[in-house]
Amino acid sequence: MPTEKKIGSASDCISAMVDGSELKKVRSNSRIYHRYFLLDADMQSLRWEPSKKESEKAKIDVKSIKEVRTGKNTDTFRTNGTYDQISEDCAFSIIFGENYESLDLVANTADVANIWVTGLRYLISYGKHTLNIIESSQNNMRLSWLGELFDETDSSNSKEITILGAVQLVKKLNPGLKNVKIELKFKELHKAKDKAGSDVTKEEFIEVFHDLCTRPEIYFLFVQFSSNKEFLDTKDLMIFLEAEQGMAQVSEDISLEVIQKYEPSKEGQLNGWLSLDGFTNYLLSPECHIFDPEHKAVCQDMNQPLSHYYISASHNTYLIEDQFRGPSDVTGYIRALKMGCRSVELDVWDGPDNEPVIYTGHTMTSQIAFRSVIDVVNKYAFVASEFPLILCLENHCSLKQQKVMFQHLKKILGDKLQLDPPKPEDCYLPSPFELKRKILLKGKKLSSNCTASEGEVTDEDEGAEMSQRMSMESGEQQTVAPKKFKLSKDLSDLVTLCKSVEFKDFSTSFQSQKQWELCSFNEVFASRCASDFPGDFVNYNKKFLARVYPSPMRIDSSNMNPQDFWKCGCQIVAMNYQTPGLMMDLNIGWFRQNGNCGYVLRPAIMREQVSYFSANTKDSVPGVSPQLLHIKIISGQNFPKPKGSGAKGDVVDPYFQINLPELAMVRFVVLDDDYIGDEFIGQYTIPFECLQTGFRHVPLQSLTGEVLPHTLLFVHVAITNRRGGGKPHKRGLSVRKGKRNREYASMRVLLIKAVDDVFRTALLPLREATDLRENMQNAIVSFKELCGLSAVANLKQCILALSPRLTGPDNSPLVVFNLTDQYPNLEPQGLLPEVLKKVVSTYDMVIQTSKTLLENSEGMYERILQTQKAAMEFHENLNDLAVKEGLKGRKLNKAVESFTWNITILKGQADLLKHARGEVQENLKQIHYAALTCNLSKGGPVGSSSGSESKCRRSLDTIPEKASGEEELTDEDN
């Protein structure tokens, strides 16, 4: 089959099937056979060769095909030894015959699989009339829409327009296309027709538009959800919006709004139909951007203490190149502040004419006037964000010029300066909300009992440290001797909530550090703390602000990985904003998640006083349910294709387990391997929490962060415990575990009898809660597999998929849902075939486990919370209790750590149980809704029965394959 041919219509698919292609036939016991499959010209039979059978037996009658199922969603696939080696996108199954036998096939590419699936589904819907239907209806909405556009351009009614006009018209409809490419397509068409002139007819314009602007991957998706294969009606679109795009409470009115907004043809707008072009417009719209629009504005609680947030920070903000010889410029501050940066650095030294200047001391960087920088700060401080800005003041000035600094700060910044002193009785810093539009000065401060106009403090000089490191021949750490310098009281009084102090060790800080005191950590030292004291570092940052600055060895202004320190809870990780690349991409991407305001609330487990989190953990976090992320890269638009790739580029299916979703990010990078070293094309970095599920477009950005016009990745995203992403094709998204292999939450022993006795009371409810959740989830996964759907398909999809099989030949239901009870049961309306008996029994297990969870979860939830409450009563006196039990040193520390571990487990397991309860209630609503939609509720159809088949027999339709005890499909290959 010629894969280079661009498929954009049903007739293309049928034609390719008649030509035939090689497919792999998968059997049980890891057996795979290569066969050539083709559709008979009369479209009545599907044949394969070579075969030892008579030619009349090596075929399947099209009319016997019940369903075409995508992915590896049959028992044959699931039990085959090569399951993991088979691409989900290339696999499909044909369910046929009265016994619902399955023919399981694997194509060489996803394109070829899509061609067969699409063509066969047309044949199932329209049979021998398929071609007539295609010819009579194909692209009618597109033809009328493009015809009107052409006629508007053809103002002289000459039936032709200039090639320039035609190029501009195509370009207007698809701005990402290059003019040269469009013009070349018209010239190729004229050459093929031996046409003399260069003017373009309506038919030629439509043909070129069809060739250049039809995206096969969107076409295949479109027909998958279209009940009549030519457009999406409001019900088709409802299923897509809910099942794939994760939209909640979708109605036909919402579908109609989407159609009115994105459908270009008048016919489609009048009838409520979304054409392929309207569907493409919708998928390219901001609504289908991968970034969740809720995060474009401030969406997090801004009333927590300042130390509970990550704060976007700049290092040596005044530099626009490297930090040893580079130029200094106020544009560095303008750029950082416009990007939402909330912590900028001012390295201030004595300058000429009694005017302080800013530059990196002991280096060859150029100088800028302190006053100019303060003017810029005053102008741009709150342009991108209204939340507090921290000025990190590294003061190296004489007392005389400190007086000038003070005057500039007071006169220029005025009321913006935060001058209210901290209240000694407060345990935490004020919140970003309380400090809105305030500028905080971070710097050295005289002791509170100093009454003189000046005093002596320890110098803080990162530049000197860098200069010494530059002169060292070895790479060993060298201690920089602290120097003393005179500080004016006026300047000292401007520092209120961010007093710079030296860090000694964690135990000293826990005992004596005040909440308004802030320590700066060299990157190397911070890394050592993260490695040697991961738990202490996290606990330290629950109360105090910590700033991490780059190693002095980074003379080229390269950047450290900010995630190395965010996972320790460090709030202010100072980045060289002037240096683009991976690390800066991570920083920019991270701070997008809260309206780009420069503040991101840290995960609850890193804020709560009693919670366990270690910075260097590699396993799942206690009390936090890991999320599984599946991303399929489908296609790329308007950038060079990697060498040797197929029509859509290589399909990639990354598959991640995310242990702490709130700390995770996803980065898309496109490289062109035509170049040695993989030439960079574009990237996009997004926090995990901002991902939207379903089919999404990713706007790529340049190395320096600018959006590349019309340069997009088309992807599919699925995440456990999140709406949408209906068919990610990974069974691993919900793994069934029997009780024997089940992992239960583990509690730790403190060796403090009274406390251990309390925690022991939770062991049974924790175990029972896990069983409740996993029994329910396992039953649902079994039901989905029986329906031929993947693990994160929702129950509404399952009922819609099964509905054709639940209805007899005369449209009378074989089973009905009794919706009078809270738990809708399936009631047979007579004798059922074996396959339907299996459906009913599996569904009954879903209802039974769901009912058990709802009826028992509340009591277990209360028991778990009671244990947590009782245990917390020991928290204040835990150290004293441990000492009484003879615990000291490492054993004492271990007991405290075990206490926080257990409390975290209890909180997390209670949350999981609460989530499972909500999941069951949502499932019951979906079953109820789907039963009504498909006219399968007890008491007969709701409303008119006409059109009920079109409501439910969609491309999502699946019919249960035969019961596992029945004989397999037999052929000569056995």
User: For residue 273, which phi and psi values (nearest 5 degrees)?
Assistant: -115, 140
User: DSSP characters for 579-611?
Assistant: --SHHHHHHHHHGGGGTTSSEEEPPGGGTSSS-
Q: Where are the beta strands (DSSP E) in 274-405?
A: 309-314, 343-349, 357-358, 368-369, 389-395
Query: Which amino acid is residue 223, in one-letter code?
Result: V
| Alpha-carbon gap, residue 718 to 818, rounded angstroms | 32
What is residue 933's predicted lDDT score, i.e. its pLDDT? 75
| pLDDT tens figures, 397-422 | 999 999 999 999 999 999 999 999 88
Q: Checking DSSP bridges between strand 517-522 and strand 546-549, what pairing results, if any?
A: parallel
Helices first, then strands: H and E counts in the chain: 30, 30
Distance of CA 774 to the CA centre of its chain: 25
What is residue 272's predicted lDDT score, i.e. its pLDDT? 95
* CA distances from residue 776 to 440, 467, 779, 795, 927 in whole angstroms, order as listed: 52, 63, 5, 13, 15
Query: What is the overall mean pLDDT for the chain?
Result: 85
What is residue 336's predicted lDDT score, i.e. its pLDDT? 95
Instruction: Tell whether omega for the bond before 50 is within 30 degrees of 0, i.e. cis.
Output: yes
Residue tagged 């998968």 (tokens): 26
What is residue 734's predicted lDDT score, i.e. its pLDDT? 43
pLDDT at 697 over 50: yes
What is residue 459's predicted lDDT score, i.e. its pLDDT? 76
| pLDDT tens figures, 464-503 | 654 554 454 345 455 556 678 899 999 999 999 999 999 9
**Are 828 and 815 a contacting pair, CB within 8 Å?**
yes
pLDDT at 149 over 50: yes
User: DSSP characters for 79-97?
Assistant: H-TTGGGS-GGGEEEEEET
Q: Which residue has the higher pLDDT, 832 or 809?
A: 832
| Alpha-carbon gap, residue 852 to 860, rounded angstroms | 12
Residue tagged 């100019």 (tokens): 372
Mean pLDDT in residue range 950-967:
37
What is residue 372's predicted lDDT score, i.e. its pLDDT? 96
pLDDT at 618 over 90: no
User: DSSP characters for 429-485?
Assistant: PPPTTTTTT-EEEEE----TT--SSEEEEE---HHHHHHHHHH-SS-S--PPPP-EE
CATH topology of domain 627-638+652-721: Immunoglobulin-like (2.60.40)
- From the list 519, 580, 522, 527, the residue with the least C-alpha distance to 553 is 522
**Greatest mean pLDDT range, 129-138, 739-748, 807-816, 853-862:** 853-862
Stretch (H or E) spanning 564? helix 563-566
What is residue 55's predicted lDDT score, i.e. its pLDDT? 67
pLDDT at 169 over 80: yes
What is residue 726's predicted lDDT score, i.e. its pLDDT? 59
Chain length of the chain: 974
pLDDT at 387 over 50: yes
pLDDT at 968 over 80: no
What is residue 172's predicted lDDT score, i.e. its pLDDT? 95
Check whether domain 309-464+484-606 has CATH 1.20.1440.230, yes or no: no
What is residue 658's predicted lDDT score, i.e. its pLDDT? 82
**CATH class as words, domain 10-137:** mainly beta
What is residue 310's predicted lDDT score, i.e. its pLDDT? 98
What is residue 824's predicted lDDT score, i.e. its pLDDT? 93
| pLDDT tens figures, 73-86 | 888 888 877 878 88
- 382: Cβ–Cβ under 8 A, 6 or more apart, which residues? 389, 437
What is residue 969's predicted lDDT score, i.e. its pLDDT? 36
What is residue 356's predicted lDDT score, i.e. its pLDDT? 97
| pLDDT tens figures, 175-212 | 999 999 999 999 999 998 888 888 999 999 999 999 99
Confidence of residue 365 (pLDDT cuts 50, 70, 90): confident
pLDDT at 452 over 60: yes
**Are 263 and 269 a contacting pair, CB within 8 Å?**
yes
pTM of the model: 0.84
Residue tagged 């004293």 (tokens): 880
For residue 511, count CB atoms less than 10 angstroms from its CB and return exposed for 0-12, middle for 13-18, buried for 19 or more. Answer: exposed
What is residue 508's predicted lDDT score, i.e. its pLDDT? 94
- From the list 322, 543, 516, the residue with the least C-alpha distance to 421 is 516
What is residue 67's predicted lDDT score, i.e. its pLDDT? 85
Domain boundaries, the chain: 10-137, 149-288, 309-464+484-606, 627-638+652-721, 753-934
Mean pLDDT in residue range 805-821:
83
pLDDT at 644 over 60: no
What is residue 155's predicted lDDT score, i.e. its pLDDT? 87
Q: Checking DSSP bridges between strand 572-575 and strand 599-601, what pairing results, if any?
A: unpaired
| Alpha-carbon gap, residue 45 to 59, rounded angstroms | 6
What is residue 568's predicted lDDT score, i.e. its pLDDT? 93
Residues 149-288, CATH architecture: Orthogonal Bundle (1.10)
